Structure 1
Amino acid sequence: MTAHDRALHGGSLLWGIKASLLDYVRGMGDGTVEASGGASVTDVGIRFPSGSDSPEPGSLAFRGAVTLTAHGGMLHVTIADPAIVETSTGWALEIVDPHDASRRMAFATIAGFDGRRATGTALTHDGADLFFGPYQRGTAIDDPSIID
Structure 2
Amino acid sequence: MTIFRTFLAVSTILVLQLSAAAAEPLKVEAIMAPKEKIQLDFNDGSKHFLLMVRREGEAKGTGLLNGTKVVEYGMHDIVPGVGGDPRGYLVMTAPNDDIAYVKWQVRAVFVPGPDGKPQLLDNGFWELTSGTGAFSGATGAGILHIKAVSPTDRKFILDGDIFTKK
Could you state the TM-score of these two structures normalised by the residue count of structure 1?
Answer: 0.31
